[in-house]
A and B are shown apart, each in its own frame.
Chain A
Amino acid sequence: QMHLVESGGGVVQPGGSLRLSCAASGFSLKNYGVHWVRQAPGKGLEWVAFIRFDGSKTDYGDSVEGRFTISRDNSKNMLSLQLSSLRPEDTAMYYCATDLYNWNAFEVWGQGTMVTVS
């Protein structure tokens, strides 16, 4: 069965940095594009970033462009999201999710990792 597991969340001061990881089990992540989606406490879902299966293309939401960087290491079956210049409004649960090919939809989700900027 396909599973994703996020890690690396925590409490960080405004202006600080954090690196989130997303690891796959039960399947090879190298065959999938991967998104990050976040959810502020009590709020809705917001798409954050995307990386193509081979790392050749990345895309970011307007609110994180220039501050967050998505990358992947297919040899380790995992990927990362580097968060920099963090703001209180970046406080959220961060989920990684596989991309449903050709549909830009979010198929398999991890359980999330919480980031608090305070």
Chain B
Amino acid sequence: DIQMTQTPSSLPASVGDRVTITCRASQSISRFLSWYQQIPGKAPKFLIYGASSLQSGVPSRFRGGGSGTEFTLTISSLQPEDFATYYCQQSYSSPWTFGPGTKVEIK
């Protein structure tokens, strides 16, 4: 199985900050990487697929990058509604696995 890791696990930040989350895969997954946002008590929301393709309706302040084993999710200017937990997920080979999550919290 492909193992996914994320750093940091917790990210204190303020509104307007630029934040970056890193996701690493235990083997190369090309660009088969997606990102999700989850607000407590809610279902996850699909943000990005193919490492950098923004899902329809997702604000352009979200940006994904990377390939192979290292990927990033950047929020260019953090908004109040962006405080949430973010998960990466590989879709290169089954079983489809998620990272442990990064909680973006208010500093």
A residues adjacent to B (C-beta < 8 A): 35, 37, 44-47, 50, 59, 61-62, 95, 100, 103-112
Contact = CB atoms under 8 A, between A and B. Distances in A.
B57 to A, nearest CB: 11
B96 A104 contact: yes
B95 A44 contact: no
Nearest to A48: B95
Interface of B: 1, 32, 34, 36, 38, 42-46, 49-50, 55, 87, 89, 91, 94-101
Nearest to A6: B43
A105 B91 contact: yes
Interface of A is mostly: strand
Contacts of B45: 109
Given A95-B43, A100-B49, A112-B43, A46 B32 contact: no
Contacts of B99: 44
A106 B34 contact: yes
Contacts of A62: 1, 95
Given A44-B87, A45-B98, A105 B34 contact: yes
Contacts of A46: 98
A44 B101 contact: yes
Interface centre among A45, A61, A100, A109 (most CB of B within 10 A): A45
Contacts of B36: 45, 106
